[in-house]
């Protein structure tokens, strides 16, 4: 049997064939992600990060913002697309899961239009922002903890002897006992003199003193028996605010580490469900730096220091008004040079110091706290276990396969 096609029919078939080929090349509507836990221990609220470059088969259809993550039952999960470097394009897709020891779980990525209307809203979230109404703090929080640090206006106030300023690159902690966001409410009420955030009105408060110390996780360079540090941050860039991760960048004015000029930048993030902030520090220097040292203030030195250098975690447990506060640092043990329980008579200069071996003047570490009144931890032993488990998870990340 013979079919004779006219020129228009041939053109139509050619266009249809080209469209089919283009569609096949453009992408597919779904991918399978297999996540496995190499540890025997259960992991709660574990963040899974999927690089967009590995997801092009689905992201090429409608963009990374229009990808849904589903579990094996077809339930759409809370997820977040993150532009990690602020260049305007999505770099990774985040979601969270609980996973048992040695368990393997499958998730499914679907390319859809208008994914935002189908994606569930999380009842809790991460959040951060610059706070110009209270001099110039930068503050961040999740469902468990909150932190802040200080900008150039606060520094200038101290230098000009104006009351209310703060001169430090140390990290402050706000002690929360609720899982919802408190930053905006606490600032608003404090500035309006309705309720001071230095008093616990049922949601928590800020009793933590930083002064010129490192607070809970500030850094410096230890050299010639002295800790050399930067002043307040001079600029910020908010990169992500979402249900799973808040992410921002702080830049500092050049400073001197015993004759070495240092350019400091911090990439800071906090995930939902975590008591520890992640710090990615870049100290570009005129010379190779001998170390990057992480500090936790010992306040009045009435607390207890504990170091687990081989496991990569360190902590301070101290009385805080009518309760107890545990602060801690987690860092890869292979990067740890030394540890010091450094106590002096000078105010705000006694510290738990973790001296690390930076790779090309860069370092990643975690720092944060646990407060007994939050209901999350009852004792120093529980805080220690949290830090130990966290360190183990960092050294044994979840394994993902995409197909």
In the prediction, which pLDDT does 14 show? 44
Cα separation, 377 vs 326, whole angstroms? 9
SS3 241: coil
Q: Quick: pLDDT tens for 67-88.
A: 999 999 999 999 999 999 999 9
Please give the share of the chain, as a percent, with pLDDT higher than 90. 91
User: With bands split at pLDDT 50, 70 and 90, how would you rate the model's confidence at 15?
Assistant: very low
DSSP string, 153-170: HHHHHHHTT-TT------
User: With bands split at pLDDT 50, 70 and 90, how would you rate the model's confidence at 6?
Assistant: low
Burial bucket for residue 111 (CB in 10 Å: 0-12, 13-18, 19+): buried
Beta strands per DSSP E along 54-190: 67-70, 79-82, 92-99, 104-111, 127-131, 137-141, 146-150, 172-176
DSSP-derived letter for residue 33 is E
Write the CATH number of the domain with boundaries 29-121: 2.60.40.1180
Cα Rg, the chain, nearest whole Å:
25
Q: Quick: pLDDT tens for 16-55.
A: 433 333 343 345 689 999 999 999 999 999 999 999 999 9
Neighbours of 361 (CB within 10 A): 18
In the prediction, which pLDDT does 21 show? 39
Tokens representing 5 are 């096609």
Q: Where are the domains of the chain?
A: 29-121, 127-395
Cα separation, 398 vs 80, whole angstroms? 18
In the prediction, which pLDDT does 287 show? 85
Q: Quick: pLDDT tens for 112-140.
A: 999 999 999 999 999 999 999 999 999 99
Instruction: Tell me the CATH class for 127-395.
Output: mainly beta
Contact (CB, 8 A) for 256 and 263 = no
Find where tokens 């001099």 sit: 135
User: With bands split at pLDDT 50, 70 and 90, how would you rate the model's confidence at 286?
Assistant: confident
In the prediction, which pLDDT does 3 show? 42
Arithmetic mean of pLDDT over the chain: 93
Cα separation, 69 vs 118, whole angstroms? 11
């Amino acid at each position: 049997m013979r079919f004779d096609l006219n020129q228009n029919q041939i053109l139509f078939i050619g266009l249809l064939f080209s469209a089919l080929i283009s569609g096949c090349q453009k992408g597919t509507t779904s991918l399978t992600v297999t996540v496995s836990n190499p540890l025997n221990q259960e992991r709660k609220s574990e963040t899974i990060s999927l690089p967009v470059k590995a997801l092009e088969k689905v992201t090429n259809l409608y963009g990374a913002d229009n990808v849904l993550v589903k579990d094996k039952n077809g339930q759409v999960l809370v997820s977040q697309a993150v532009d990690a470097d602020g260049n305007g394009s999505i770099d990774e897709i985040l979601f969270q899961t609980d996973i048992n020891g040695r368990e393997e779980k499958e998730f499914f990525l679907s390319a859809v239009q208008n994914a935002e209307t189908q994606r569930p809203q999380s009842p809790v979230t991460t959040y951060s922002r610059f706070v110009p109404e209270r001099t110039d703090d930068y503050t961040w929080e999740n469902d468990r903890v909150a932190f802040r640090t200080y900008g150039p206006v606060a520094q200038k106030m101290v230098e000009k002897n104006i009351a209310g300023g703060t001169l430090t690159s140390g990290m402050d902690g706000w002690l929360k006992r609720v899982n919802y966001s408190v930053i905006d409410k606490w600032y608003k009420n404090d500035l309006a003199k309705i309720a001071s955030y230095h008093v616990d009105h049922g949601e928590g408060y800020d009793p933590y003193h930083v002064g010129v110390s490192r607070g809970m996780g500030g850094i410096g360079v230890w050299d010639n028996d002295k800790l050399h540090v930067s002043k307040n941050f001079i600029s910020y860039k908010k990169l992500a605010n979402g249900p799973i991760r808040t992410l921002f960048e702080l830049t500092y004015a050049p400073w001197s580490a015993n004759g070495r000029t240092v350019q400091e930048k911090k990439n800071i993030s906090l995930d939902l469900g975590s008591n520890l902030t992640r710090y990615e520090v870049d100290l570009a220097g005129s010379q190779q730096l001998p170390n990057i040292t992480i500090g936790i203030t010992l306040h009045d030195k009435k607390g207890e220091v504990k170091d687990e250098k081989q496991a990569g975690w360190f902590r301070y447990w101290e009385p805080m008004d009518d309760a107890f506060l545990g602060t801690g640092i987690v860092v890869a043990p292979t990067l740890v040079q030394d540890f010091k329980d450094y106590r002096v008579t000078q105010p705000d200069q006694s510290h738990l110091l973790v001296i690390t071996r930076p790779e090309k003047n860069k370092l990643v570490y975690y720092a944060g706290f646990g407060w007994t009144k939050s209901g999350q931890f009852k004792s120093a032993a529980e805080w220690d276990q949290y830090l130990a488990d966290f360190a183990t998870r960092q050294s044994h990340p979840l394994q993902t396969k995409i197909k």
